[in-house]
């Protein structure tokens, strides 16, 4: 039983990180009907930005002593990487996707795959500031301590886990507020419903779509940093793996649906951990896709998606 | 073009004769054989993927998965038949017959997978299909990684993540690789020009309209998928016997994407385009590597290897922005030019 609880805690923890990435996929899909394959790679870039920022401080600190960042520094790291990723998301949208918006959907999908290749393999080159293919150790931003222990220490919750949960939940709540309570959110929902009519009604469609990309990318950067806290390393291909799984989570929940993405991600995280715990970790990567195929066959619109009839 | 009875086999016979001459003349040049085999295998992969992605308009990004199934099935069949010799035939001939059997087994195994994957998932549209095929490729790789080592008994000893290294050697030849490449082009061309191909084109252009016209879209899509995965499986078998060692690392998502880049660059729907792009994109990295090696030595050659994938990405983006129809669009080399003023 306590083994199950341990797995559950780990599953929910990795699930919250998938959820933050999945939200970006689901928002972009809701607005553009495009699988933004580059989203996971934007997350990877965000993590590297955080890594580089942390290294700056670490290098400046006194030598010989372990560097422990203060709260302000941690927040700055999050802020810098989220802001830079928002810019990156805007650039990708502006120069790669916007020119293709009226073209067949397949061209945009192929472009997205191309962008993903450029970013993830570009980061594997060892030229200039690019980091090369080797994984790097991410400096610990927080000192891990146990906050809660159950069943005589068999099941523990560390501060990193609790903070990750809290940050993820906070960001999700903020997003929910943004989508349903603000002018921008209403515009977003209108564009998602029918972007031509929205444009006719005076909604600045380009700006709304750009804004969606920026928010999604910033969330991805946050997720990347939380992931780095968990795994304490970064490598150029982390985005592809995490991104694909987050996308799977979004599809399971019903793509285009914000709460669906969160539920799908938590579910995926837990199922993955259960497989790792009770079967073998080598099967871990097959789980997400097997789960996806089963869901798509039984309920192609996802758990929370709406069935849409095709009109001709 | 000769008597009707010969029309089906004549091109194949001619190709056999031509390839046999080629094999005799150039079979002794290792560098040429290596390049030509790589090109041949990629041509098979690109042309077969084009049947699904180009002609039918379904977007599959899991071709490496089918290739892996074919490669492993063919390799295992070859390994099991290694001690067998067909009586009454010289050893070399017997080996070639067994090689053909292994390749067919690889193709059939991949085609069966294509059927199993295709039947339910081809009801899904566009993006969803893409992600399911991607998932299939990943699942195949993970399943292979979890198989027992190759020394253990039984057919399913696929070597896990270390791969198979005991594949019988000396069977791969220019002749067989290019004969299969020729066959896939022939099949693709005949499909495109048949009523079957017209139905596939109808599905590509407008699925709902095709269905309204009485085209059984699911059946046609599944058939296209099966043909495509059969040849991907054969290409996998050729790949396995050419390199004589395979591991799950050879059949990743990246491999699938390389094939997609070839098809898209050549022009979705054009077999000619797929061939040209496959030849060019196979020779380009080799050329870059040799060029950099000559100019700046080993370090520069490594840079050439590193820039390959980012260049593919840039190529995809630039193509989509500047020329989304690819090199050839949907045209073919063998289409006669329409006379001016003729009814379309």
pLDDT 10s digits, A293-309: 888 778 877 788 776 66
**SS3 (DSSP) at B327:** coil
- Taking the Cβ of residue A112 and every Cβ of chain B, the question of whether any pair is shorter than 8 Å is answered with no
Q: Do B313 and A115 touch (CB under 8 A)?
A: yes
- Taking the Cβ of residue B323 and every Cβ of chain A, the question of whether any pair is shorter than 8 Å is answered with no
* pLDDT for the residue B201: 92
Between the alpha carbon of residue B286 and those of residues A110, B143, B292, the distances in Å are: 25, 32, 10
Q: Rounded distance, CA B117 to CA B95, Å?
A: 33
* pLDDT for the residue A62: 52
Is residue B278 over pLDDT 60?
A: yes
- Taking the Cβ of residue A237 and every Cβ of chain B, the question of whether any pair is shorter than 8 Å is answered with no
Q: Do B142 and A285 touch (CB under 8 A)?
A: yes
Separation of first and last alpha carbons in chain B? 26
Give the distance, in angstroms, between the CA of residue B316 and the centroid of all CA atoms in the same chain: 20
* pLDDT for the residue A159: 80
- Taking the Cβ of residue A300 and every Cβ of chain B, the question of whether any pair is shorter than 8 Å is answered with yes
- Taking the Cβ of residue B126 and every Cβ of chain A, the question of whether any pair is shorter than 8 Å is answered with yes
Is residue B34 over pLDDT 80?
A: yes
Q: Which residue has the tokens 């979890």?
A: B146
Write out the two tokens for A113: 């795959």
Q: Rounded distance, CA A264 to CA A272, Å?
A: 12
Q: For A180-196, how does the pLDDT look when each residue is reduced to its tens digit (9 = 90+)?
A: 899 999 999 899 888 88
Q: For A140-153, how does the pLDDT look when each residue is reduced to its tens digit (9 = 90+)?
A: 777 777 777 776 66
* pLDDT for the residue A60: 67
Residues in CB range of A246: below 8 A, 6 or more apart: A18, A19, A21, A22, A24, A25, A39, A40, A223, A265
Q: For B236-277, how does the pLDDT look when each residue is reduced to its tens digit (9 = 90+)?
A: 999 999 999 999 988 988 889 889 989 988 888 899 999 999
Residues in CB range of A49: below 8 A, 6 or more apart: A80, A81, A84, A85, A221
Give the distance, in angstroms, between the CA of residue B296 and the centroid of all CA atoms in the same chain: 34
Is residue B96 over pLDDT 90?
A: no
Is residue B113 over pLDDT 90?
A: yes
Which DSSP helix (H) or strand (E) runs through B222?
helix B217-243
Write down how long chain B is. Answer: 344
**SS3 (DSSP) at B165:** coil
β-bridge mates for residue A149, sequence order: A156
What mean pLDDT value characterizes chain B? 85
CB-nearest partner of A100 from B126, B138, B320: B320
Among A167-181, B150-164, B198-212, the range with the most confident prediction by mean pLDDT is B198-212
Q: Would you place residue B344 in the very low, low, confident or very high pLDDT band (cuts 50, 70, 90)? A: very low
Which of A117, A124, A264, A268 to probe the B interface (max B CBs under 10 A)? A117
Q: Do A110 and B126 touch (CB under 8 A)?
A: no
Write out the two tokens for A229: 């806290």
Neighbouring CB atoms inside 10 A of A62's CB total 7
Asked if A38 contacts A116 with a C-beta cutoff of 8 angstroms, the reply is: yes
Is residue B150 over pLDDT 80?
A: no
Q: Would you place residue A5 in the very low, low, confident or very high pLDDT band (cuts 50, 70, 90)? A: confident
CB-nearest partner of A296 from B57, B124, B208: B124
Is the ipTM beyond the 0.90 threshold?
no
* Section B118-144 average pLDDT: 81
Q: Which residue has the higher pLDDT, B4 or B326?
A: B326
Percent of chain A with pLDDT over 70: 93
Judging contacts by C-beta atoms under 8 Å, the chain B residues touching residue A109 are 59, 126-127, 130
* Section A155-172 average pLDDT: 81
What mean pLDDT value characterizes chain A? 84
Number of H helices, E strands in chain B: 12, 0
Q: Rounded distance, CA B315 to CA B143, Å?
A: 32
CB-neighbour burial class of residue B96 (10 A; exposed 0-12, middle 13-18, buried 19+): middle
CB-nearest partner of A283 from B146, B264, B309: B146
Is residue A63 over pLDDT 70?
A: no
Is residue B1 over pLDDT 70?
A: no
Q: Would you place residue B339 in the very low, low, confident or very high pLDDT band (cuts 50, 70, 90)? A: very low
**B144-153 contact pairs (CB < 8 A, 24+):** B144/B68, B144/B72, B144/B248, B145/A282, B145/B248, B146/A280, B146/A282, B146/A283, B150/B79
Write out the two tokens for B11: 């091109």
Q: Rounded distance, CA B62 to CA B259, Å?
A: 10
Q: Which residue has the tokens 């222990």?
A: A149
Q: Do A99 and B139 touch (CB under 8 A)?
A: no
CB-nearest partner of B145 from A99, A282, A292: A282
CB-nearest partner of A111 from B61, B310, B317: B317
Q: Would you place residue B342 in the very low, low, confident or very high pLDDT band (cuts 50, 70, 90)? A: very low
Asked if B110 contacts B230 with a C-beta cutoff of 8 angstroms, the reply is: yes
Q: Would you place residue A86 in the very low, low, confident or very high pLDDT band (cuts 50, 70, 90)? A: very high
Q: Do B310 and A122 touch (CB under 8 A)?
A: yes
Upper half-sphere CA count for residue A113 (Cβ side, 13 Å): 26
Q: Would you place residue A166 in the very low, low, confident or very high pLDDT band (cuts 50, 70, 90)? A: confident
Q: For A190-217, how does the pLDDT look when each residue is reduced to its tens digit (9 = 90+)?
A: 998 888 899 999 999 999 999 999 999 9
Q: For B43-71, how does the pLDDT look when each residue is reduced to its tens digit (9 = 90+)?
A: 999 999 999 999 998 888 899 999 999 99
* pLDDT for the residue B185: 93
């Amino acid at each position: 039983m306590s083994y199950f609880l341990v797995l559950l805690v780990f599953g929910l923890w990795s699930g919250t990180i998938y959820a933050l990435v999945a939200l970006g996929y689901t928002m972009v899909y809701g607005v553009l009907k495009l699988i933004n394959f580059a989203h996971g790679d934007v997350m990877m870039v965000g993590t590297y930005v955080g890594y580089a920022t942390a290294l700056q401080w670490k290098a400046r600190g006194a030598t010989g002593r372990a560097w422990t960042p203060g709260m302000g520094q941690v927040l700055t790291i999050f802020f810098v990487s989220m802001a830079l990723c928002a810019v990156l998301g805007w650039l990708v949208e502006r120069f790669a996707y916007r020119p293709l918006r009226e073209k067949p959907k397949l061209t945009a999908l192929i472009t997205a795959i191309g962008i993903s290749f450029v970013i993830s393999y570009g980061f594997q080159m060892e030229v200039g500031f690019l980091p090369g293919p080797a994984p790097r150790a991410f400096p610990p931003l927080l000192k891990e301590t146990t906050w809660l222990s159950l069943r005589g220490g068999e099941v523990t919750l560390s501060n990193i886990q609790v903070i990750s949960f809290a940050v993820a939940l906070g960001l999700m709540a903020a997003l929910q507020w943004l989508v349903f309570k603000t002018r921008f959110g209403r515009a977003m929902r209108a564009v998602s419903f029918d972007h031509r009519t929205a444009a006719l009604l005076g909604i600045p469609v380009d700006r709304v779509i750009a804004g969606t990309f920026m928010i999604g990318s910033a969330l991805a950067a946050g997720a990347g940093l939380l992931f780095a806290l968990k795994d304490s390393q970064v490598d150029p291909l982390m985005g592809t793996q995490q991104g694909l799984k987050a996308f799977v989570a979004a599809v399971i929940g019903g793509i285009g649906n914000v709460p669906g993405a969160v539920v799908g991600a938590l579910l995926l995280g837990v199922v993955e951990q259960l497989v790792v715990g009770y079967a073998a970790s080598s099967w871990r990567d097959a789980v997400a896709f097997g789960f996806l195929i089963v869901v798509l066959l039984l309920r192609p619109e996802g758990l929370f998606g709406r069935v849409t009839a095709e009109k001709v | 073009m000769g008597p009707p009875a010969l029309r089906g086999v004549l091109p194949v016979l001619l190709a056999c004769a031509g390839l046999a001459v080629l094999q005799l003349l150039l079979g002794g040049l290792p560098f040429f054989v290596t390049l030509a085999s790589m090109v041949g295998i990629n041509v098979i992969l690109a042309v077969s993927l084009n049947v699904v992605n180009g002609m039918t308009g379904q977007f599959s990004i899991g071709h490496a998965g089918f290739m892996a199934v074919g490669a492993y099935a063919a390799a295992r069949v070859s390994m099991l038949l290694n001690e067998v010799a067909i009586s009454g035939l010289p050893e070399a001939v017997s080996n070639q017959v067994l090689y053909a059997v292994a390749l067919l087994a690889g193709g059939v195994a991949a085609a069966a997978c294509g059927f199993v994957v295709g039947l339910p998932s081809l009801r899904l549209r566009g993006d969803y299909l893409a992600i399911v095929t991607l998932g299939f490729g990943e699942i195949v790789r993970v399943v292979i990684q979890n198989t027992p080592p190759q020394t253990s008994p039984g057919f399913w000893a696929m070597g896990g993540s270390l791969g198979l290294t005991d594949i019988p050697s000396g069977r791969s030849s220019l002749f067989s690789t290019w004969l299969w490449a020729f066959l896939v082009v022939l099949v693709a061309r005949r499909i495109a020009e048949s009523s079957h191909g017209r139905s596939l084109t109808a599905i590509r252009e407008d699925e709902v309209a095709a269905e309204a016209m009485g085209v059984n879209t699911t059946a046609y899509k599944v058939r296209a998928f099966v043909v495509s995965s059969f040849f991907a499986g054969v290409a996998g078998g050729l790949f396995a016997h050419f390199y004589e060692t395979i591991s799950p690392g050879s059949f990743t998502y990246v491999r699938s994407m390389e094939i997609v880049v070839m098809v898209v660059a050549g022009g979705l729907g054009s077999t000619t385009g797929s061939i040209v792009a496959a030849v060019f994109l196979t020779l380009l990295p080799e050329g870059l590597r040799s060029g950099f090696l000559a100019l700046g030595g080993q370090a520069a050659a490594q840079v050439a290897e590193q820039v390959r994938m980012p260049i593919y990405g840039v190529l995809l983006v630039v193509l989509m922005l500047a020329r989304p129809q690819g090199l050839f669009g949907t045209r073919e080399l063998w289409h006669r030019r329409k006379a001016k003023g003729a009814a379309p």
